[in-house]
Chains A and B, each alone.
Chain A
Amino acid sequence: MNAIGKIVIPELETAGLETVAIAARGLSRHYGAHRAVDGLDFTLDAGTTLALIGHNGAGKTTLMKLILGLIRPTAGSLKVLGVEPARAALEHRRQIGFLPENVAFHDELTGTQTLRFYARLKRAPLKQCDALLERVGLSFAASRRVKTYSKGMRQRLGLAQALLGDPQLLLLDEPTTGLDPASRAEFFQIMRELADRGATVIISSHILTELEAKTDLVAIMNTGHLAAFGPLDMLRREADLPVRITVVTPNGTGPAVSALGSIAQRAVVSENGHSLQLFVHVEDKLEALARLTALGDAVADLDIARPGLDEIYRHFSPEAAKAAAAGGEA
């Protein structure tokens, strides 16, 4: 192979590497009448990062367990790195890293001991442990018992454990919940590095904004179904949500409302009557701006907002919208 102009991928053997990491066809897992996962169809290429979004109970964890081979599908088929996970040989699991939701470790062992235990089980080189602890920022607490760790530190140890043996597929179940913004940024940094190396990463969350659009693809799950799957920009287009223009009108909102006329899908006047929120279709955005700026002094300021991640998520997941309306984001 001519190496000039090619990025050499270290650590991972490219020979025998599947180009498709995960292929699901009609994948279902029912528990009696409860359809935890129902008829999923999707393909995930190797080396891509996927955000798996859904409210609690949408089927994210069930899907992860199916991918891990912990449970068998009740219908449909699933191929992970070229094999059926529930029937795969034990060796297959060495290629997969997993960080469960609310990861738990044995309290009495130190960080290093914990990681070395998992490294031995995975037959990963023990010398990798120190490097991984360093990488997730836990070197300072490596010889402390896990019971003294904070939630964030346990989560970091969980990530270090998932990275053992340089897995080709990494599954992270709600990894950023409870992390501060700085740790979260580090998390995404590591995820990015892995993806650049050719690994496939799936990261789940019940809050789309938490993932900050850091992944190549977004999958939105809703009561066991795949409500949306694709790059965020595509979902944004599909959702076709209006652009919000906030206009400051010191002399009353009347002129701005009448200037837009039928372009405005909706207009909301603020309580003090000095500002206005106008919702227009993406294609009408420039026209609306032209008309508003033509009003001169009647408009003091304006601000344009594209539909946010939360709004896109709620558009595809009515369940999440209901939960939000009920007052809890959980």
Chain B
Amino acid sequence: MNATLVIAGKEISDGMRNRWVLGATLLLAGLAFALTFLGSAPTGELGVKPLAVVVVSLASLTIFLMPLIALLISYDAIVGEVERGCMLLLLTYPVTRRQIMLGKFLGHVAILAIATLIGYGGAGAAMAFGDQGDAQSWQAFATLIASSILLGAAFVALAYWISASVRERSTAAGISIGLWLAFVVIYDVLLMGLLVASKGWISDKVFPWLLLANPADIYRLLNLTAFENVRQFSGMSGLSEQAQFAPATLVAALAVWIAVPLVLANWKFSRSES
């Protein structure tokens, strides 16, 4: 078997055994089922909500959770193994550093994919029994699952870059938390503040590109603006007219956010000596 796949396989079975897969799946499933069936407290409504509304709420929560889970499972992928001494042994095997990194990446993304597919897919299947939603909403739901995995992959790649660049596990953990705060919380607040403060000085031409500079915002745009019936519930209809990116462009932008950090991580890792 190819060395990359051997390492990916071990990473997956590792994730299965140390309960990462189970934990992440339960968390995502719990979230999806709660949003689907518990109704919305503000309106006092009970019962299954329209699929489009579920997509909007799930997307908003995934933006917070998925990057966090991704960073948590992968921040010590490189530095942790170096610190514990596993890496030294691994590097004496007939396997390149690139294969190690790629194998781990595939394994970690597979863990996220399993959790997302089971967690969100399960809730989707339950909704299908209730015969909820039209074809477009189901398309939006499928996009939600696929883009959630891509969002996770982007943060796994970012975590590897951190993990390959620092010397201590604790440093990697600290930077990862900072990164999560920056992309998921602070960036949007800053952007909003900037918009308000500039009083329209930041033109409609610049603003959309600023959104592409953050993988979490790309994910938001993709899920909340790509489909008409989702847009109605997302409060993004105004924004969507300004930020006219085709879904394919947004997916490509997410792919860049996966590839670039991964290449940087590989570059850092191959330069280090152990």
The residue that A70 contacts in the complex, of B13, B88, B95, with Cβ under 8 A, is B88
Q: Could you tell me if B93 and A93 are in contact, using CB atoms closer than 8 angstroms?
A: yes
- Chain B residue numbers with a CB within 8 Å of A113 are 13
- Chain A residue numbers with a CB within 8 Å of B10 are 106, 109, 117
With A104-B85, A106-B14, A109-B17 already in contact, the answer to whether A70 and B92 are too (CB < 8 A) is: yes
The residue that B93 contacts in the complex, of A102, A104, A109, A118, with Cβ under 8 A, is A118
Q: Could you tell me if B3 and A105 are in contact, using CB atoms closer than 8 angstroms?
A: no
Bound Cα distance from A103 to B3, whole angstroms:
21
CB contacts under 8 Å to B, within A60-84, are 68, 70-71
CB contacts under 8 Å to A, within B161-177, are none
Closest to B89 in A: A100
- Name the prevailing secondary structure of the B interface residues: helix
- Chain A residue numbers with a CB within 8 Å of B93 are 93, 118, 121-122
Q: Is B139 on the interface with A (CB-CB < 8 A)?
A: no
Bound Cα distance from A113 to B91, whole angstroms:
19
Q: Is A322 on the interface with B (CB-CB < 8 A)?
A: no
CB contacts under 8 Å to B, within A93-142, are 93-94, 96, 98, 100, 102-106, 108-109, 113, 117-118, 120-123
Q: Is B244 on the interface with A (CB-CB < 8 A)?
A: no
Q: Is B198 on the interface with A (CB-CB < 8 A)?
A: no
The residue that B85 contacts in the complex, of A71, A102, A121, with Cβ under 8 A, is A102
CB distance from B3 to the nearest CB of A (A): 6
Q: Could you tell me if B1 and A120 are in contact, using CB atoms closer than 8 angstroms?
A: yes
- Chain A residue numbers with a CB within 8 Å of B91 are 70
Q: Is A90 on the interface with B (CB-CB < 8 A)?
A: yes
- Chain A residue numbers with a CB within 8 Å of B18 are 108
With A102-B85, A120-B6 already in contact, the answer to whether A93 and B94 are too (CB < 8 A) is: yes
- Chain A residue numbers with a CB within 8 Å of B3 are 121
Q: Could you tell me if A98 and B92 are in contact, using CB atoms closer than 8 angstroms?
A: yes
Q: Is B96 on the interface with A (CB-CB < 8 A)?
A: yes
Q: Could you tell me if B14 and A108 are in contact, using CB atoms closer than 8 angstroms?
A: yes
CB distance from A146 to the nearest CB of B (A): 11
CB distance from B203 to the nearest CB of A (A): 52
Bound Cα distance from A111 to B3, whole angstroms:
20
- Chain A residue numbers with a CB within 8 Å of B86 are 104-106
Q: Could you tell me if A71 and B273 are in contact, using CB atoms closer than 8 angstroms?
A: yes
Q: How many residues on the A side are at the interface (Cβ–Cβ under 8 A)?
A: 26
Closest to B91 in A: A70
Q: Is B43 on the interface with A (CB-CB < 8 A)?
A: no
Closest to A104 in B: B85
Bound Cα distance from A121 to B4, whole angstroms:
9
Bound Cα distance from A157 to B274, whole angstroms:
22
With A106-B86, A161-B89 already in contact, the answer to whether A117 and B6 are too (CB < 8 A) is: yes
- Chain B residue numbers with a CB within 8 Å of A303 are none
Bound Cα distance from A109 to B89, whole angstroms:
16
Bound Cα distance from A91 to B96, whole angstroms:
11
Q: Could you tell me if A91 and B94 are in contact, using CB atoms closer than 8 angstroms?
A: yes
Most-contacted residue by chain A among B13, B85, B90, B92 (CB, 10 A): B92
With A108-B17, A109-B17 already in contact, the answer to whether A123 and B94 are too (CB < 8 A) is: yes
Bound Cα distance from A96 to B3, whole angstroms:
17
With A70-B273, A103-B85 already in contact, the answer to whether A121 and B94 are too (CB < 8 A) is: yes
Bound Cα distance from A106 to B96, whole angstroms:
20
Bound Cα distance from A113 to B9, whole angstroms:
11
Q: Could you tell me if B13 and A94 are in contact, using CB atoms closer than 8 angstroms?
A: no
Q: Is B205 on the interface with A (CB-CB < 8 A)?
A: no
CB distance from B157 to the nearest CB of A (A): 22
Q: Which 10 A-B pairs have the closest CB atoms?
A: A108-B17, A104-B85, A90-B94, A93-B94, A104-B84, A120-B6, A98-B92, A121-B93, A108-B18, A117-B10
Known: A93-B93, A108-B14; 8 extra A-B contacts, CB below 8 A, are A68-B92, A91-B94, A109-B10, A109-B13, A113-B13, A117-B10, A121-B3, A121-B93
